[in-house]
Amino acid sequence: MRKKPIPRFDSEDQERDFWASHDSTEYVNWSQARKVVLPELRPTLKTISLRLPASLLEELKLLANKRDVPYQSLLKMFLAERVKRELSRA
């Protein structure tokens, strides 16, 4: 069966909207797909401001120092663990 051509997109948002509303099997022969490894791919990061009590920040820094990791990395780890736990309960 001949597949439909994939249209050109002006932005990632436009492409995301397209694939959210179309069946990819009409455009891609998944039986011929190959696994791709993207070792340099990193998640998109967004900078935020977060106000914390000074004492909580100091405790976080102490914990991070004991683990020999930056405190912001430790905070991301803690948040990711808690979000995963909360989502698994839902």
3 and 27 in contact (C-beta within 8 Å)? yes
Asked, for residue 3, whether it belongs to a domain, the answer is no
Q: CA 30, CA 38: separation in Å to the nearest integer?
A: 19
Is the pLDDT score of 49 beyond 80? yes
Residues 6 or more apart from 61 whose CB is under 8 A from it?
71
pLDDT digits (tens, 9 = 90+) for 57-85: 999 999 999 999 999 999 999 999 999 99
Average pLDDT estimate for 35-63: 94
Asked, for residue 79, whether it belongs to a domain, the answer is yes
Is the pLDDT score of 5 beyond 90? yes
Domain extent, residue 88, equals 50-90
Asked, for residue 36, whether it belongs to a domain, the answer is no
Handedness of CA 48, 52, 58, 59 (dihedral sign): negative
Q: What is the pTM of this model?
A: 0.56
Asked, for residue 25, whether it belongs to a domain, the answer is no
Residue bearing tokens 């948040």: 79
Number of domains in the chain: 1
Asked, for residue 28, whether it belongs to a domain, the answer is no
Q: CA 62, CA 32: separation in Å to the nearest integer?
A: 51
